[in-house]
Amino acid sequence: MERQEVVSRLVQSGAVGIIRVQENEDLVRIAHALQAGGLKCVEITMNSVGALHAIEKARRDLPDIIMGAGTVLDGATARHAILAGAEFIVTPTVEPDVIEMAHRYGVVIIPGAMSPTEILTAWELGVDMVKVFPADVLGPAYLKAIHGPLSQIPLAPTGGITANNAGEFIKAGAAIVSAGGWLVNKKAIIEGRYEEITKRAQQLIQAVKEARGESGE
């Protein structure tokens, strides 16, 4: 899939589900549960056990999902993730070598940044959107203030996103929101209640749709 098409599908979806767990057998099951809830974009963090294998398997089993790799800290890890099938790369910080590697392979890159200077610096390095992190600490008001002078930059707030606050971030100017800990609830995974993850995915998508003024159907 072309880079711009991936960006378009991310924005159209409005939400990314972040999977970060310790047991590799959980990863693909969680991705299935998120898809069942209507999420079309999923990020598996590279500090999860078996992340590369899970990305490969999820790409085979869930061809309609846009699959990304998160917590990518260096260019070498980015390359491994891309070769495993990652269609977008997410970092917690602005890492020029990761951005360069993503560009080399024509893959969407979403670096993490907090300050206006970091956000603009990342944009000038040619990224596709910027992950504003940690979103729960900064809040929707901060995102709105950043979005004003930097409205040309698609922002993806991440960190502490739930169905209760996702809409506020969308209204503040977020292109998409990314949810992890609340969405992929550890207790539900331990207890094997994957239907809870599906339910939360549905709630997240509904919150985004309502904030955008879209139909809930």
- DSSP assignments along 27-47, one per residue: HHHHHHHHHHTT--EEEEETT
Give me the pLDDT at residue 24, please: 57
- Specify if 217 maps to a domain: no
Is 196 a catalytic site residue?
Answer: no
Range of the domain at 195: 3-212
pTM for the full model? 0.95
Out of 40, 57, 131, 209, pick the active-site residue.
Answer: 131
Helices (H), 14-147: 24-36, 51-61, 75-84, 96-105, 116-124, 135-147
Nearest to 18 by CA among 179, 173, 132: 179
Select which of 43, 87, 95, 168 is catalytic: 43
Q: How far apart are CA 131 and CA 110, in angstroms?
A: 6
Confirm whether 51 is domain-assigned. Answer: yes
The pLDDT profile of the chain, 217 residues, written as one tens digit per residue, is 899 999 999 999 999 999 998 765 588 899 999 999 999 999 999 999 899 999 999 999 999 999 999 999 999 999 999 999 999 999 999 999 999 999 999 999 999 999 999 999 999 999 999 999 999 999 999 999 999 999 999 999 999 999 999 999 999 999 999 999 999 999 999 899 999 999 999 999 999 999 999 865 5
Residue 133 lies in a domain: yes
5 is catalytic: no
- Torsion angle, CA of 118/122/128/132, rounded to 10 degrees? -20
Answer yes or no: are the C-beta atoms of 19 and 43 closer than 8 Å.
yes
Residue 97 falls inside a structural domain: yes
Domains in the chain, number? 1
Q: What's 42's domain CATH number?
A: 3.20.20.70
